C-alpha cells in the first residue's frame, strides 16, 4: 500500500475511534438527521435541523461535526448535503442490513472478541444468554436482535434463491432435504416452484419450531416434514432417501473439522444418484471489494457471537473438504443471479 506516514496516521485514528463513530452515525440515522439532510437536497441547515427535529444544538453539532470529518456530509456556505458515502449509509440495503446486524447482534459482545480468539469459544454470546452457540438460542433472542439476525441471514441468500431453484430442479427431484433449513424460507420457495416435490427440513429443535410456524402459515404441512437433528453429534445420522441434499449458507457456521463431519454424514445418506448442493458466499471469488470486506468482517461475528470456531471460507478450502468426504464437484455455478453466492453440485466419487 503506497501511503504517506501522515495519511497512515489519519487512517489509524479512524480505526481507533471506529466503535464510537459508528454509534454516532447510527444515532444520526435513528434520530432522522440523515434522512432530513437527504430530503432537503443540499439545502439543509443546522438551525433547521435543530428546530424541525427538536434536537438540541449541542447534539446536532456533535453529530454533524463527526459526520463531516468522516466524509458523510458536505458543507457549502452553511448548507448541508449527504456525500456519496452518506447516501449509501442511508439508502443502500447491504449497508443497512450490515449496520443493523453489527449494532444489534455484534456490538455489545464484541468487547469479548479477544477472549474468543484465545479460547475459540463465542465469549460475546453471554450478553444474550448462556448457550454454547447462537443457534441454540436464536428463537429466544429479543425480537429486535432476532429481526436483525434474520434480515442479515436472508439478505445474503434471498437474491440467489430464484437462480438456485432453476439449478436444483433441473432434474425434477422428488425428495429434497433442506439441511439447516432455519425459518423454512427456501423450502417454501421450493414448494412454490415445483408442485410435486416433498421436503424434509433438518435443523436444531429451536429452528424447527420457527420453521413449523412459517410452514403452517403457508399451508404446506402436507409437503414439508421436519427432522430435528444436531449434526455435531456424530451419533445422529441424516436419513437416506433424498434425491437432493441442499445446504445454503449452512456449512460456514462450522469449523473445518466440523464441516468434514457433516459432509461425511451427507455422504453416508447418499447414493450415486443423490446430488448434494452447497451454496456459499466464498470470500475469494467476489466481484467487488465491498462484498469481500463484508464477508471477511462477518467471520468476526462467528468468532465472537455465533460459535467461536467458524468463518466465511475460501472456495479452495471447500474443494479440499468435499474431496476428503469422498465426494466430487460435478458442477460449479459461480455468483448466481444478482448475489454473492456460488453453488457447488456434488456427488459421491
- Residue 154, pLDDT > 90, answer no
Q: Considering only residues 336 and 8, tell me which one the structure prediction assigns the higher pLDDT.
A: 8
Q: What is the pLDDT of residue 26?
A: 98
Q: What is the pLDDT of residue 264?
A: 98
- Residue 158, pLDDT > 80, answer no
- In angstroms, the CA 172 to CA 243 distance is 9
Grid coordinates given for 106: 455484534
pLDDT classification of 229: cutoffs 50, 70, 90: very high
CA angle, 111 as apex, 110 and 112 as ends, to 5°? 85
Considering the entire predicted model, what is its pTM?
0.90
- For 90, how many CA atoms within 13 A lie in the half-sphere containing its CB? 21
- In angstroms, the CA 340 to CA 28 distance is 29
- In angstroms, the CA 240 to CA 229 distance is 14
Report the relative pairing of strands 175-179 and 244-248 from DSSP bridges. parallel
Q: What is the pLDDT of residue 335?
A: 84
Q: Considering only residues 256 and 210, tell me which one the structure prediction assigns the higher pLDDT.
A: 256
Average pLDDT of the residues in 204-208: 90
Residue whose C-alpha cell is 441454540? 136
Average pLDDT of the residues in 80-86: 98
CB 282, CB 313: distance < 8 Å: yes
- Residue 157, pLDDT > 80, answer no
- Averaged pLDDT score across all residues of the chain: 96
- Residue 49, pLDDT > 80, answer yes
pLDDT classification of 1: cutoffs 50, 70, 90: confident
Average pLDDT of the residues in 166-184: 96
- Residue 139, pLDDT > 80, answer yes
Grid coordinates given for 23: 454509534
Query: What domains does the chain contain, in order, with CATH numbers?
Result: 5-91 (1.10.10.10), 95-348 (3.40.50.150)
- Residue 339, pLDDT > 90, answer no
Grid coordinates given for 40: 432537503
pLDDT classification of 159: cutoffs 50, 70, 90: confident
CB 80, CB 124: distance < 8 Å: no
Q: Considering only residues 339 and 253, tell me which one the structure prediction assigns the higher pLDDT.
A: 253
- In angstroms, the CA 263 to CA 258 distance is 9
Model confidence pLDDT, tens digit, residues 4-21: 999 999 999 999 999 999
Amino acid at each position: 500500500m503506497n501511503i504517506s506516514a501522515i495519511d497512515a496516521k489519519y487512517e489509524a485514528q479512524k480505526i481507533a475511534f471506529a466503535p464510537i463513530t459508528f454509534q454516532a452515525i447510527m444515532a444520526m440515522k435513528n434520530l432522522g438527521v440523515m434522512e432530513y439532510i437527504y430530503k432537503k437536497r443540499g439545502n439543509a441547515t443546522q438551525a433547521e435541523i435543530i428546530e424541525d427535529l427538536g434536537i438540541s444544538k449541542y447534539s446536532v453539532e456533535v453529530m454533524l461535526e463527526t459526520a463531516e470529518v468522516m466524509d458523510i456530509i458536505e458543507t457549502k456556505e452553511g448548507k448541508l448535503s449527504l456525500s456519496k458515502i452518506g447516501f449509501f449509509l442511508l439508502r443502500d440495503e447491504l449497508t443497512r442490513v450490515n449496520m443493523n446486524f453489527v449494532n444489534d447482534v455484534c456490538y455489545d459482545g464484541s468487547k469479548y472478541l479477544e477472549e474468543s480468539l484465545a479460547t475459540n469459544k463465542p465469549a460475546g454470546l453471554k450478553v444474550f444468554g448462556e448457550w454454547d452457540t447462537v443457534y441454540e438460542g436464536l428463537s429466544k433472542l429479543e425480537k429486535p436482535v432476532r429481526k436483525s439476525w434474520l434480515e442479515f441471514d436472508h439478505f445474503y441468500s434471498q437474491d440467489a434463491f430464484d437462480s438456485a431453484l432453476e439449478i436444483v430442479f433441473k432434474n425434477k427431484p422428488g425428495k429434497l432435504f433442506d439441511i439447516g433449513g432455519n425459518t423454512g424460507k427456501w423450502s417454501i420457495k421450493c414448494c412454490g416452484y415445483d408442485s410435486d416435490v416433498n421436503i424434509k427440513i433438518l435443523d436444531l429443535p429451536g429452528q424447527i419450531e420457527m420453521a413449523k410456524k412459517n410452514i403452517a402459515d403457508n399451508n404446506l404441512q402436507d409437503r414439508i416434514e421436519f427432522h430435528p437433528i444436531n449434526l455435531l453429534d456424530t451419533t445422529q445420522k441424516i436419513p437416506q432417501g433424498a434425491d437432493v441434499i441442499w445446504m445454503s449458507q449452512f456449512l460456514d457456521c462450522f469449523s473445518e473439522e466440523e464441516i468434514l463431519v457433516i459432509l461425511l454424514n451427507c455422504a453416508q445418506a447418499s447414493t450415486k444418484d443423490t446430488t448434494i448442493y452447497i451454496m456459499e458466499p466464498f470470500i475469494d471469488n467476489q466481484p467487488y471489494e465491498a462484498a469481500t470486506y463484508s464477508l471477511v468482517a462477518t467471520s468476526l461475528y462467528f468468532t465472537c457471537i455465533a460459535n467461536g470456531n467458524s468463518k466465511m471460507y475460501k472456495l479452495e478450502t471447500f474443494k479440499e473438504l468435499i474431496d476428503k468426504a469422498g465426494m466430487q464437484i460435478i458442477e460449479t455455478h459461480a455468483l448466481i443471479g444478482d448475489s454473492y453466492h456460488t453453488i457447488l453440485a456434488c456427488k459421491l466419487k
